[in-house]
Chain A
Amino acid sequence: MKNTVTFILTLSLILLVGCQKKNNTSGFSGRLGIVLDSSVPEAERELIDMDLFRLSEVNLNSASSRDLQILGVQAFSGNQLTSWLRTRVSFIVGEDFDYGEQANIVGTQTYRPQIFSASLLNEEEIEQNSLITIMINIGGALYRYGKRNNQVLTLDVGGQRVYVKSPRVGVIQIGEGLFSAWSVKSSARDALANSLIRLSVFFHEARHSDGNGDNVTFPHAICPDGHDYAGNYSCDSAANGPYVVDSVMLRNLRNACTGCSNTEIQTFKSFEADALDRMLPGSWDKDIRPEQIP
């Protein structure tokens, strides 16, 4: 009898462990120090690992001195680019990850007014972001939320409880759109071009982990009248903002896309044109240094 009970308990334990989704730290992303939350579907994990591996292998000689300045790196080498990304992206969560449930308020924080002033995360922007099925920097959004409400938040992600004390908390949510609607249709999901396009989106979102004061998380600016996106928070007033980072990466990764088809190149260029169009005239470089709650 005792043996039977032990056997059933052991079997149940094995089944439970086997069925439970794991937070992945074993793939290439794990080696970089980026945790893939259990909410990321298996197929997407493999693609992300492959994308990051490809990034680690690139050597983008086409980068201009201005490109280097925008990212603040010495060279567009695989090593430096993965390191840049790793600094700003710590967790990747899936579309089903409910940050409303996983986030908790654990304390209040009085912010220093000389650092924290006006424009915080816009309600409209949050609403827009909630529709996103491609990618969103949740960590940055939560940090701004806490800052506006003088609250310190935690987020349960990747099997850890993370204190949201800086925009660099680096929690990025990805959606199915990243692997479908925004991919070159005639190319496989694991094609080099699609991999590089996905990476450019990561770089865009990673820039949202930077900044301080009014410019914390490098929020987007309202596009002016006459613009395609007029009236929406879809432009950048920073010459080193997310869309500029996006366009810089798209251009350089496109140059690394050897053997890419005309369709793939045209897709790179159309995304690049879209990003360039969003930079407002009179933009200037803004301070990328991230602020932090002590």
Chain B
Amino acid sequence: MRRKSKKLTYLFWGITFLGFTVGLGWHLSGKYFPQQASQHPDPFFDGSAELVGVVEEREASPEEKRPLPEISPEELSFRERTNRVLEDFPKKEILKDSGRDLHKPPPELVDASTELGAIEDLLDKNPELTKEGLRFYRKCALQEALLSSLRALCLHNLKQRAERAGLTKKINWKQFPDKLHRIADRLK
């Protein structure tokens, strides 16, 4: 009877130790070896059905910040260019300028269209830039400060490019306002 009780004590402590070891290992692996962003090795996707923003946009403490995914010099150059383009795109605020004719489209749309045309040229010639192109169009369509017409055109381009690349299902289309969808779909 006494031997049996001793055996049970050993068993109890054994299981406790084992459980503690496994738990500690799991905790440490989670801390020092973060899980991959998705089932896709591609940094463009986060495993959910939606496109993620660029990695550096995520909130994280400095020690937890993940390194930027490796991108080619061409992609980097494209990203830098599109970031500049986005900064320069006309905002709704310009429509408040006095002396402006609001009866016709703002002339700034012509300049923005020129930039979009150049980006479309690049994407046509360099299919490897497609994901960067989608990233740019998504950011453009989500920027509430921009002219709605421009956002709708970006959404339209996003739809067309995603369809051509077979990535339509990877995008969370619900993040874009219905009004933009309505306009974007009529630009076909």
Interface residues of A (CB under 8 A from B): 128-129, 131-136, 177, 181-186, 201, 220, 227-229, 232, 234, 247, 251, 261-267, 269-277
Contacts and interface: CB of A to CB of B under 8 A. Distances in A.
Interface in B114-129: 114, 116-118, 120-121, 124
A274 B179 CA distance: 12
B52 interface: no
Given A262-B121, A270-B153, A134 B101 contact: yes
A229 B112 CA distance: 18
B15 interface: no
A1 B152 CA distance: 77
Given A184-B110, A263-B118, A270 B149 contact: yes
Contacts of B99: 131
Contacts of A232: 102
B103 A185 contact: no
Nearest to A134: B104
B107 A182 contact: yes
A276 B104 CA distance: 12
B150 interface: yes
A264 to B, nearest CB: 7
Contact of B104 (A201, A261, A272, A273): A201
A262 B100 CA distance: 28
B113 interface: yes
Contacts of B112: 270
A270 B113 CA distance: 7
B187 interface: yes
B134 interface: no
Given A132-B101, A133-B101, A181 B186 contact: no
Determine chain B's interface SS by DSSP, over half rule. helix
A277 B149 contact: yes
Nearest to A220: B103
A129 B106 CA distance: 15
Contacts of B148: 227-228, 273, 277
Interface string B41-61: 000000000000000000000
A267 B152 CA distance: 13
Contacts of B118: 262-263
A70 to B, nearest CB: 13
A271 B109 contact: yes
Given A269-B156, A273-B153, A132 B117 contact: no
B85 interface: no
Nearest to B151: A273
A262 B187 contact: no
Most central of B92, B110, B182, B184 by chain A CB within 10 Å = B110
